[in-house]
Amino acid sequence: MSTIPQSHLDDLLRKVDSSKLKDSHRQYIKGLFDQHASGGISKEEIKKGIYQLKNDVHDNIDRHTAEKVEKALLAHFEPKDD
C-alpha cells in the first residue's frame, strides 16, 4: 500500500505502548501528519513527521517514543505474509 489512510492512522497509533504514547501525544501526532499529508500518509511523509518529532524539544515526546511510532507506522508498508 502506498499510503496510510488518515482514518487508519489512529488505529496504528493505538498499537504503540500506551504507557509511552498518551492520548494527548496521539492527537498531537495526528495533527502533525495532517500538515504533511494530502489524502493518505506516504512513507516519505512519515519520515518527515518523525524527524520533526525527534527534533522538537517542546512536544514532550521523547526520541524513544518517536522511534516506536515510526516503527508502528512504517510496518504498515511491509509486505504481509498471507
30-71 pLDDT per residue, tens: 888 887 666 788 899 899 999 999 998 888 888 999 999 999
Using 50, 70 and 90 to split pLDDT, how confident is the model at 78? confident
pTM comes to 0.82
| Residue 57 falls inside a structural domain | yes
The angle subtended at Cα 37 by Cα 34 and Cα 64, nearest 5°, is 70
pLDDT at 70: 93
pLDDT at 73: 92
Q: Rounded CA gap, 43 and 23, in Å?
A: 23
For residue 10, pLDDT over 80 is answered with yes
Residue 60 structural domain:
3-77
Using 50, 70 and 90 to split pLDDT, how confident is the model at 74? very high
| Residue 82 falls inside a structural domain | no
| Residue 47 falls inside a structural domain | yes
Tally of structural domains, the chain: 1
* End-to-end Cα separation, the chain, in angstroms: 15
| Residue 30 falls inside a structural domain | yes
DSSP characters for 8-64? HHHHHHHTS-TTTS-HHHHHHHHHHHHHH-BSEEEHHHHHHHHHHHHH-TTS---HH
